[in-house]
Amino acid sequence: MITLRYHIVSIAAAFLALAVGVVLGSTTLSGTLLSGLADDNSELASRVSELETERNALQARLADADGFASSVGPRVVSDRLDERSVVLFTTEEADPTDRDAIADLIEDSGARVTGEVRLSDAFADPAKSDRLVDIVTRLQPSGTELPTSGGPGRLAGSLLGQTLLLDAESADEQASSDEQAAVLRGLAEGGFVEADEDVEPAQLAVVLTGGESEGDGAGDRAATVARFAVGMDKSGAGTVLAGAAGSASGNGPVGVVRADSSASGVLSTVDNAHTAAGRVTTVLALREQLEGEAGQYGIAGNAGAPAPGAGSSGS
């Protein structure tokens, strides 16, 4: 006869068996899962170690290559710009180390650096573009022509180009010393530039910037610097826009130029001026500009070649 006690014992036994099964099952599953995770973790750790080794090896090779470029750079550029002159324009993002190294190489090439003009943050600030346009227009020397399009960067580049670059054909100054002083003073008082006291007009120009622009209005700031360089280039014997890593991106001045066929057809760019090789390339590109050619150089995907003569990139 099946009693109530029998039912209770049977139910209790069933629950006990179920509990034991759950404990054993979860223990086995956890062990298998943990074992699998441990294997995955070990594999990932091994892969990370391999990648770190590869990275260190690449960094060592880059350091060796940069050291080699530094040692041979002066010989490579020797006499390339003999008896020429170059004026430097730098943005706030430009690294002073890159500027000094490029200036040294320009002198190694036989050219003279006539001074530096530093563009302030306000220069490329979209919120201050109307004020820049107003100042540039008021400072325009008589007898000069400014472009009717291209925004504040192109206008300022044309103004400073006609003020601080020599005529491409005659090598004569395009503005009087009083006009030069007035333009630089007016832009300085507006908070847009800071120039060396003894800066002089030159045949060629280097516009040195940093990498990719960041934050609000990044694209507009990059475009202003890019168009400034184009305005400079069209006012003298040649200009090179040189930037650091990231400058060839969509939000980098070099990238803006390379995305515009009309700009890249006349203005040479370098996207690795933060390296010794890129600085040498900047000087070689100045020589190319002097000869009426243009090219896009560096290591970015939109570069035509590492340097002039190293592949097809000229227009």
In angstroms, what is the C-alpha Rg of the chain? 31
220/264 same-domain check: yes
Which of residues 71 and 218 earns the better pLDDT score?
218
Q: What is the rounded CA–CA span in Å between residue 240 and residue 312?
A: 18
Total domains, the chain: 2
144 touches 174 (CB < 8 A): yes
Q: Which long-range contacts (CB under 8 A, 24 or more apart) does 302-305 make?
A: 302/248, 302/255, 302/258, 302/259, 303/248, 303/258, 303/271
Examine the pLDDT at 183 and tell me if it is beyond 80.
yes
Task: Give burial (CB, 10 Å; 0-12/13-18/19+) of 140.
Answer: middle
15/110 same-domain check: no
Maximum Cα–Cα distance for the chain, whole Å? 125
Residue 25 within any structural domain of the chain? yes
Residue 310 within any structural domain of the chain? no
Residue 303 within any structural domain of the chain? no
Average pLDDT over residues 95-122: 97
172/220 same-domain check: yes
Q: What is the rounded CA–CA span in Å between residue 33 and residue 29?
A: 6
257/211 same-domain check: yes
47/135 same-domain check: no
Binned at pLDDT 50, 70 and 90, residue 9 comes out as: very low
Residue 307 within any structural domain of the chain? no
Examine the pLDDT at 50 and tell me if it is beyond 90.
no
13-17, 181-185, 248-252, 273-277: range with lowest mean pLDDT: 13-17
Q: What is the rounded CA–CA span in Å between residue 81 and residue 72?
A: 17
33/43 same-domain check: yes
246/150 same-domain check: yes
Reported as a single tens digit per residue, the pLDDT across 129-172 is 999 999 999 999 988 889 888 799 999 999 999 999 999 999 99
Q: What is the rounded CA–CA span in Å between residue 196 and residue 247?
A: 26
206/111 same-domain check: yes
Look up the domain containing 27 and give its range. Answer: 1-77
115/159 same-domain check: yes
Reported as a single tens digit per residue, the pLDDT across 211-240 is 998 888 899 999 999 999 999 999 999 999
pLDDT at position 15: 55
pLDDT at position 40: 74
131/218 same-domain check: yes
